[in-house]
Amino acid sequence: MTVRNPLRRRLVLGAPAAALAGALPSIAQAASVTLLNVSYDVAREFYKDINKAFVPYWKKTAGEDVTVNQSHGGSSKQARAVIEGLDADVITMNQALDIDVVADKGLIAADWAKRLPNNAAPTSSVTMFLVRKGNPKGVKDWADLAKPGMSVVIPNPKVTGNGRYTYLGAWGSVIKGGGTPAQARELTQKIFANVPVFDGGGRAATTTFAQRNIGDVLCTFESEVQSIVEEFGKNFDFVYPARTVLAENPVAVIDKVVDRKGTRKQAEAYLKFLWTEEAQQIAVKHNLRPRDAKLLAAHAKDFPSVPTFTVDEVFGSWKKAQAEHFNDGGIYDQLMAKK
């Protein structure tokens, strides 16, 4: 009988136990772990670089090979995919709401935001405006987006974090400026009446504005500006409104998945890695505001100080904002019915 497996051949031939013991560690070391990171639309390049840094870091730290795969799309679509069975080990979003939705289904512990520093958000950004070179429409603040004849590109707030932040940024700018909810509603309605197309993700909205040449203004994250310039050239100017919303980018381990797959150790290490100096430097490279105060100060030129407010500060919480503004029949739907 032909025995093809070398290890089996030694068993058949009566190889000594010591020889077998020497063979087993190499087999164990050959095993590797694969993680899946489910993330929002415009975070592709950032996490691609994070993965490249984490793989050797984990090999050096734990002596283990790890592969990190990525899945990207509109943030709310991604959260629903996880709920519907996408086998993700970690979820990295641009709004706490999408992680809360998954936690509400029992896949993530309710206290997920307390497990890591900064409410489990290793980076942040702000919502700002990208305009055509020379700013021909003279855009300076949110009110300019509401003017008749203005064309504003914003991804769909019903399915994207980018779109929700823009909506809440417009509304919150009025409240933080001393205005009333009625005035906030009026401004927001006028801005969204000027949107020619609602894309399903931030990257698609960028393509609409920069490649298809639709719109006078693109509302986007500060972190997107660099990649837009690199891909489409220096045909744009960027404008910071007088007040804007702080976009925090939270992360969480998907407990049900990692416990079933046995990948909790690696998944937790992957997320903790995001607070290391190396990862924070990568964040700066991708124009994300780091949580490292010294690093942020060192790059003050790239991240100018701008008055910001959080969703919790103006709307109470992401859950309250969702229920009041974005659920079916909420204020957003009411405003769009008048478009």
Tens digit of each residue's pLDDT (9 = 90 or more) over 13-71: 344 333 334 444 444 444 689 999 999 888 899 999 999 999 999 999 999 999 999 99
Beta bridge partners of 238: 130
pLDDT tens digits for 81-115?
A: 999 999 999 999 989 999 999 999 999 999 999 99
**Contact predicate 125/169, CB 8 Å:** no
Q: What is the mean pLDDT of residues 289-301?
A: 95
Q: Whole-angstrom Cα distance, residue 107 to residue 258?
A: 10
Amino acid 250 reads P
Residue 251 pLDDT > 50? yes
Residue 76 pLDDT > 60? yes
- Residue 22 has, within 13 A of its CA and on its CB side, a CA count of 6
Tokens of 332: 């957003």
Residue 278 pLDDT > 70? yes
Here the contacts of 2-8 (C-beta below 8 Å, separation 24 or greater) are: none
Q: What is the mean pLDDT of residues 274-288?
A: 97
Residue 3 pLDDT > 50? no
Lowest mean pLDDT among 188-202, 227-241, 242-256: 227-241
On average, the pLDDT of the chain sits at 90
pLDDT at 237: 94
Q: Whole-angstrom Cα distance, residue 33 to residue 263?
A: 7
pTM confidence score: 0.82
pLDDT at 165: 95
Confidence of residue 73 (pLDDT cuts 50, 70, 90): confident
Closest CA to 255 of 71, 34, 64, 103: 103
**Contact predicate 254/150, CB 8 Å:** no
Query: What secondary structure, in 3-state letters, does the chain show?
Result: CCCCCHHHHHHHCCCCHHHHHHHHHHHHHHCEEEEEEEEEHHHHHHHHHHHHHHHHHHHHHHCCEEEEEEEEECHHHHHHHHHCCCCCCEEECCCHHHHHHHHHCCCCCCCHHHCCHHHHCCEEEEEEEEEECCCCCCCCCHHHHCCCCCCEECCCCCCCHHHHHHHHHHHHHHHHCCCCHHHHHHHHHHHHHCCCCCCCCHHHHHHHHHHCCCCCEEEEEHHHHHHHHHHHCCCEEEECCCCEEEEEECEEECHHHHHHHCCHHHHHHHHHHCCCHHHHHHHHHCCCEECCHHHHHHCCCCCCCCCEECHHHHHCCHHHHHHHHHCCCCHHHHHHHCC
Counting residues of the chain whose pLDDT is more than 70, the rounded percentage is 91
pLDDT tens digits for 140-168?
A: 999 999 999 999 999 999 988 889 999 99
**Contact predicate 269/284, CB 8 Å:** no
Closest CA to 74 of 157, 196, 197: 157
**Contact predicate 150/144, CB 8 Å:** yes
Q: What is the mean pLDDT of residues 232-253?
A: 94
> Tokens 């990295």 correspond to what residue?
92
Classify strands 32-40 and 65-73 as parallel, antiparallel or unpaired.
parallel
**Contact predicate 154/190, CB 8 Å:** no
